[in-house]
Amino acid sequence: MDASVAQSRPLTAIGLRLLAAFSLTTLSMLVKLVGEDGVHLLEIIFWRQAVTLLAMIAFAAATVGFATLKPVRFKSHAIRSAYGIVGMALVYGAVIMLPLAEATTINFTAPIWAVILSMLLMKERIGRYRWSAIAIGFAGILIVAQPGGNPVDPLGIAVGLGGAFMVALTSIQIQDLNKTESPTSIVFWFCLLTVPLLALALPFVAKPHSSETWLLLGGVGLSGAAAQLLLTTSLRFGSAATVIVMDYTALLWATLYGWQVFDELPVPNTWIGAPLIILAGTIILVREGHLARKARRARLDVPAPEEPLAQQQR
């Protein structure tokens, strides 16, 4: 079994991640809708977290019980919450600033950032395959951004890249938390630790809403709760390298939502840049899987140390 995950069930992990990709794209579509209605980003995030917190309490009461919410490593929950809330603000900000398909495409750079983080934080040596993937991925970003033509909002691109970076950082933290915490506990503490902080901003950003907007905000919270639980559980049953490639299916849903809800289709450059970014991520994931298998084989093939001569002669 892969030591990086609590239980190794690759097919279950992949199925959960596919559902998570759909839930996340639905969440992004709703965030964009309420953003266009004039709801402030901090208020959107507050209701997303508050509704998710209530959903997690109800879910725990009906299924796993409140005992599973007790944290084993509270400090790790706090760090994950700090990473997660910054990442959420950046990802949602990019969704509001960019067309949905472009924002989704930029978010696909998370595997590229994961490789860079492994080099910077864990001093891992990066070989020619992953360096090539990084180069291909950033070439795709330049094509999507269309410098010199009719560019997509450069600030939106920058915000989206920051969000993808934080997604990679948070995924590493969640995978570590899954070793000792339940998925419900991870989502519960993320919400519980961030809702009070977000509530402090409400007097400055909140305003009255129509009943339709309130329904959309409720949808933001419910789809966010589903996505968060599905994402966290997928990392319990499979490593990030196994499941994150399924996130690329979000582009299909983003294109469909953009067409049907916002009457927008991706600009032509996106159809060129997106495959390059997806190719880069796929190269990284295949290479990571190869290296992980190679490391496991090396551990299994290590011969036992020879006994001292004095013990052999007994």
Identify whether 234 is part of a domain.
yes
pLDDT tens by residue, 137-186: 778 877 777 655 556 778 888 999 999 999 888 888 887 888 888 888 88
pLDDT tens by residue, 19-70: 998 999 999 999 999 999 999 999 999 999 998 899 889 988 888 788 888 8
Judge whether residue 74 has pLDDT over 50.
yes
**Closest to 26 in 3D by CA, of 159, 158, 224, 162:** 224
Average pLDDT over residues 224-244: 76
Identify whether 252 is part of a domain.
yes
Identify whether 152 is part of a domain.
yes
> What is the structure's pLDDT at 202?
94
Answer whether 0.75 is exceeded by the pTM: yes
- Residue 35: alpha-carbon gap to chain centroid: 21
Identify whether 2 is part of a domain.
no
Identify whether 310 is part of a domain.
no
Compute the distance between CA of residue 62 and CA of residue 32 in angstroms, rounded to an integer. Answer: 32
Position 191 confidence tier, pLDDT thresholds 50, 70, 90? very high
Average pLDDT over residues 255-271: 84
Identify whether 103 is part of a domain.
yes
Identify whether 313 is part of a domain.
no
Into how many domains does the chain fold? 1
> What is the structure's pLDDT at 44?
94
> Residue 276: which domain range?
10-203+211-298
Judge whether residue 93 has pLDDT over 80.
yes
> What is the structure's pLDDT at 312?
45
Average pLDDT over residues 295-304: 65
Of 58-67, 154-163, 264-273, 305-314, minimum mean pLDDT range: 305-314
Position 306 confidence tier, pLDDT thresholds 50, 70, 90? low
Q: Which residues of 171-184 are buried (b: 16+ CB within 10 A; e: fewer)?
A: bbbbbbbbeebbbb
